[in-house]
Amino acid sequence: MPTYEYRCNECQRKCSTFVRSMSMSDPEDLRCPHCGAAGLQRAFSTFAHHRTMQQVWDNSGPPSAMGDDDYYKDPRNIGRWTEERLEQLGVDMPSEAREMIDAAREGDLPEPLKDA
């Protein structure tokens, strides 16, 4: 059963209401749970849009040639260039490098990046 959001015409606050019938579109018998007013108007509900890691990387792009310091402050980008370059070269990532990159993405930054 759907949950609809309404905005109160009196106090302008939003409230959510579980509706037992999908055909119910008129909130005649609904009251604002905040002020008790009967004047409710249907509101647009918010929704979430989740992006894949590939979409995040595609949107952020490569670091600039001038050295964009903010690029590497995002832990998702740490080691990204190394991963991509080794893949292009057909070389397996050394386990020590993989561990450092994974640790950095979890918040344990390598010494040179801690002060960045």
pLDDT in tens, 70-112: 776 676 777 887 888 888 889 998 998 888 888 877 877 767 6
pLDDT in tens, 12-21: 998 887 777 6
Q: Is 65 exposed, middle or buried (0-12, 13-18, 19+ CB in 10 A)?
A: exposed
User: Phi and psi dihedrals of 95, rounded to 5?
Assistant: -60, -35
Cut 0.75: pTM above it: no
